């Protein structure tokens, strides 16, 4: 199973990217082939000008196209997902997420905008064809602590939720693929 993990924070270090790193580790342990795309490392001008002829953008878009599962992590900005993530999602072809398992993750300053994944991100994922969306994980900043080495450590309860999310992706990915193939052959 190919999994692409999209890191949607413009910051480094990043709590939402740290969630992805944990998931990537666990998905690899379960045998998945994983690749993380840090959107902040993509060429900014090409992203803002929607220049999909740029080789780096083409490579990143191809990773999503070829994945069986897509994990999307974003910080909550102004009660929605990050603008950086939006610039990338806007470049994905229509129905790009059809037949893929999709797992949304978000970190926010508090739980005030816990529902931002549901009212802001999920409609976009749906518009891109996602029909197999695993239970989202939202983590509030007090549940993540920056360590001396520059990495984040999460509360045990967060780790439990992330590990359940891994199981959700592993379970959904083959099902979403089967449904996509069935739809293609109708
Ligand atoms: C520009 C900006 C806007 C933010 N807006 C919100 C917000 O509306 N709601 C919220 O809960 N947190 C908000 N935050 C806090 C971040 O979502 C939070 O610190 C998050 O964990 C950052 O993720 P990161 O470390 O991956 O960048 C905002 C932070 C910034 C920099």
Going from the Cα of 76 to the center of ligand 1, the distance in angstroms, rounded, reads: 5
Please name the residue that has the structure tokens 């693929």: 177
Q: What is the pLDDT of residues 122-167, one digit of tens each?
A: 999 999 999 999 999 999 999 999 999 999 999 999 999 999 999 9
Burial (CB < 10 A; 0-12, 13-18, 19+), residue 185, is: exposed
b/e per residue 40-70 (b: at least 16 CB within 10 A):
bebeeebbeeeeeebeebeebbebbeebbbb
Smallest CA separation from ligand 1 atom 15, residue: 109
In short, whether 43's Cβ falls inside 6 Å of ligand 1 is no
> In the numeric block, which tokens belong to residue 86?
């939006």
Assign 174 a pLDDT band (cuts: 50, 70, 90): confident
CATH class in words for 2-185 = alpha beta
Q: What's the pLDDT score for residue 176?
A: 73
For 56-108, what is each residue's pLDDT tens digit? 999 999 999 999 999 999 999 999 999 999 999 999 999 999 999 999 999 99
Domain boundaries along the sequence of the chain: 2-185
Q: Which residue minimizes the CA distance to atom 2 of ligand 1?
A: 77
């Amino acid at each position: 199973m190919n999994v692409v993990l999209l890191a949607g924070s413009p910051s480094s270090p990043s709590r939402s990217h740290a969630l992805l790193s944990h998931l990537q580790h666990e998905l690899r342990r379960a045998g998945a082939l994983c690749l993380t795309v840090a959107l902040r490392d993509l060429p900014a001008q090409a992203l803002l000008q929607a220049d999909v002829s740029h080789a780096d953008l083409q490579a990143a878009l191809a990773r999503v196209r070829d994945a069986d599962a897509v994990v999307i992590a974003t910080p909550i900005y102004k009660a929605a997902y990050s603008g950086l993530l939006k610039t990338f999602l806007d470049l994905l072809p229509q129905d790009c997420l059809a037949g893929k398992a999709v797992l949304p993750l978000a970190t926010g300053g508090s739980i005030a905008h816990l529902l931002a994944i549901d009212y802001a991100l999920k409609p976009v994922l749906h518009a891109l064809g996602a029909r197999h969306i695993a239970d989202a994980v939202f983590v509030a900043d007090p549940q993540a602590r920056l360590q001396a080495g520059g990495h984040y450590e999460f509360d045990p309860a967060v780790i439990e939720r992330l590990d359940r999310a891994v199981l959700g992706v592993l379970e959904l990915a083959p099902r979403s693929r089967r449904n996509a193939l069935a739809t293609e052959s109708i």
